[in-house]
Amino acid sequence: VRAKLSDGDVYLLPGDSMYPTDVSLTEKKDLDFSHMTIGEFRSTSEFQNRIERYNIQVKRVVIQNLRPKDGHLAPLPLETVQIKPMKSNL
């Protein structure tokens, strides 16, 4: 489930406080939070299991207060910043 924010997108995963209860597996679900930044959106939920994408090159996996079910291990937090070279059309 994607939440659209003013400075990027957040992909909500099951277990996140903001993950909707009525998710359809056949329809795309976008939530409009364009009045908030990713940082403001992060501060609104206690349980976080999400991927934050500020643009194509910056992403962050946030796991906070998540207790996986069935003995699964929680994913490791990840923060990646990559600068991709521009392709020349020459």
The two three-digit tokens of residue 75, written as one number:
């994913």
How many Å apart are CA 42 and CA 88, to the nearest integer? 37
Q: What is the pLDDT of residues 30-89, one digit of tens each?
A: 999 999 999 999 999 889 998 888 866 656 677 666 677 777 776 666 665 555 555 655
How many Å apart are CA 26 and CA 84, to the nearest integer? 33
In the chain, where are the structural domains located?
Answer: 2-81
How many Å apart are CA 16 and CA 49, to the nearest integer? 5
pLDDT at 54: 80
HEC readout, 50-79: EEEECCCCEEEEEEECCCCCCCCCCCCCEE
Position 10 confidence tier, pLDDT thresholds 50, 70, 90: very high
pLDDT at 17: 92
- pTM surpassing 0.75? no
Is the pLDDT at 23 greater than 80, yes or no?
A: yes
